[in-house]
């Protein structure tokens, strides 16, 4: 497993190569003057809807609608009215057939390419329906209601979480775990399975008020918050919060959301620079969990990756993200870490689904295959291995290539 962790470390570094913005998705913001905080909040709200839908629709259509909604929520001072069903200010509307849609106030610009390719014509309000919109709607209501107590500011809320964790004994691991849990309770804790027939019930706003009070109380008591975090992890709750880990990963690793928005926002709000450096360190990333996904649970990929690993009967039936954490700690892996296997989102459809084992970098660490035939090995070229296996554009670095020492390259 050591060499396979080294392979995913190579692939993941190509994925987040700061020199090329093509390697990570960009949100289709409705307004050009969005603040850093609102860009982060748009990202967070959009990720709520990231379940069994094409990601292009979420970021290109949903991103437009939600960024417009959040601009009204904060900058235009409309607050919770943006989600109050029946309000003329609401971005959540009932359709004639009894279903609901999220709908922008801003009309689609005629030159917005992302909307055009998703069949959203210029000059009309943009609609977006998430696959699980009843629970997504409730999550958004709860989230924005709690943020009312934090100046409608997502980064202010993150600072409040961090303040619960910065005592004399905090560690890098505590900081990551606590931040993940604090973000989880903002949006996903105890949402249930609301039905569309009851979305206009005032109970959701009443529940939001009680929920906000509970969160404020918890964040005012450092010991109680830390105890709640510990209990959450003892129950393995960290393996069931995929969208939290996706977002936190982006806020630390993405050249756009990380350094430009989140890191800058924390520093501007007075968070200790030394603590911020800890949060953005390589050590912190080792405590991120892999977001559980159909791609990293793909049977072909999983069988290949674990082909030379002795597993107990219990381990064979484990979710992949939990199993990876166990193997990572058992084998004291020093290069690579579990979250990096999220690159399977790009890797599996391009490689495993097409049975390209003969040029697979994971296969190349244990058997001689033909991966050398697709290697550019030329610093004037792009890395063809990264391009073929993940769709990533990054420069070929022959003298610094970590794959050369562990594979049949």
Check residues 369 and 147 and name the one with the higher pLDDT: 147
* 109 pLDDT tier (thresholds 50, 70, 90): very high
| pLDDT value for 50 | 93
Q: Tell how far CA 192 is from the center of its chain.
A: 21
Residues 161-216: tens digit of each pLDDT: 999 987 656 689 999 999 999 999 999 999 988 999 889 888 888 999 999 999 99
At 20 the pLDDT is 65
CA atoms of 180 and 240, how far apart (whole Å):
12
**Quick one: what percent of the chain has pLDDT higher than 70?**
96
pLDDT tens-digit profile of 31-50?
A: 999 999 999 999 999 999 99
pLDDT value of residue 45: 98
Neighbours of 339 (CB within 10 A): 25
pLDDT above 70 (res 18): no
Q: DSSP alpha helices (H): ranges in 164-260?
A: 172-187, 203-219, 222-234, 242-253
Alpha-carbon distance 368 to 408, whole Å?
5
pLDDT tens, residue by residue, 207-262: 999 999 999 999 999 999 999 999 999 999 999 999 999 999 999 999 889 888 99
What are the E-state strand segments in 23-124? 92-94, 100-107
Place of tokens 């009443």: 206
pLDDT at 171: 86
**pLDDT tens digits, one per residue of 277-331:** 999 999 999 999 999 777 777 889 999 999 989 999 999 999 999 999 999 999 9
pLDDT grade for 408, boundaries at 50, 70 and 90:
low
Alpha-carbon span 87 to 281, nearest angstrom: 45
pTM of the model: 0.94
């Amino acid at each position: 497993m050591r060499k396979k962790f080294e392979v995913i470390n190579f692939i993941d570094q190509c994925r987040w190569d700061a020199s090329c913005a093509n390697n990570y998705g960009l949100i289709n913001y409705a307004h050009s003057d969005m603040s850093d905080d609102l860009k982060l909040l748009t990202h967070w709200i959009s990720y709520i809807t990231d379940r069994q839908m094409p990601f292009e629709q979420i970021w290109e259509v949903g991103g437009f609608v939600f960024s417009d909604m959040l601009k009204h929520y904060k900058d235009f001072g409309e607050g919770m009215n943006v989600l109050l069903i029946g309000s003329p200010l609401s971005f959540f509307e009932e359709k004639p057939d009894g279903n609901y849609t999220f709908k922008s106030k801003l009309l689609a610009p005629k030159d917005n390419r992302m909307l055009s390719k998703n069949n959203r014509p210029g000059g009309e309000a943009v609609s977006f329906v998430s696959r699980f919109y009843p629970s997504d709607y409730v999550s958004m209501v709860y989230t924005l209601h709690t943020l009312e107590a934090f100046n409608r500011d997502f980064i202010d809320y993150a600072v409040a979480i961090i303040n619960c964790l910065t005592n004399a004994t905090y560690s890098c691991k505590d900081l990551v775990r606590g931040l993940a849990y604090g973000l989880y309770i903002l949006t996903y804790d105890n949402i249930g399975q609301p039905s569309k027939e009851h979305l206009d019930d005032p109970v959701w706003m009443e529940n939001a008020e009680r929920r906000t009070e509970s969160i404020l109380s918890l964040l005012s008591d450092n010991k109680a918050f830390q105890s709640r975090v510990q209990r959450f992890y003892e129950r393995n709750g960290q393996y069931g919060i995929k969208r939290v880990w996706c977002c936190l990963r982006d806020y630390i690793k993405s050249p756009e959301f990380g350094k430009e928005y989140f890191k800058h926002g924390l520093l501007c709000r007075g968070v200790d620079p030394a603590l911020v450096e800890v949060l953005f360190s390589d050590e912190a990333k080792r405590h991120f969990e892999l977001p559980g996904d159909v791609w990293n649970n793909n049977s072909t990929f999983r069988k290949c990756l674990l082909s030379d690993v002795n597993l107990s009967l219990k381990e064979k039936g484990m979710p992949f993200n939990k199993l990876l954490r166990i193997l990572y700690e058992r084998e004291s892996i020093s290069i690579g870490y579990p979250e990096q296997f999220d690159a399977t989102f790009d890797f599996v459809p391009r490689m495993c689904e097409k049975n390209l084992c003969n040029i697979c970098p994971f296969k190349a660490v244990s058997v001689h295959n033909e991966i050398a035939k697709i290697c550019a090995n030329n610093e004037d070229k792009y890395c063809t291995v990264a391009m073929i296996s993940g769709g990533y554009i990054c420069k070929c670095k022959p003298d610094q290539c970590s794959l050369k020492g562990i594979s049949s390259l």
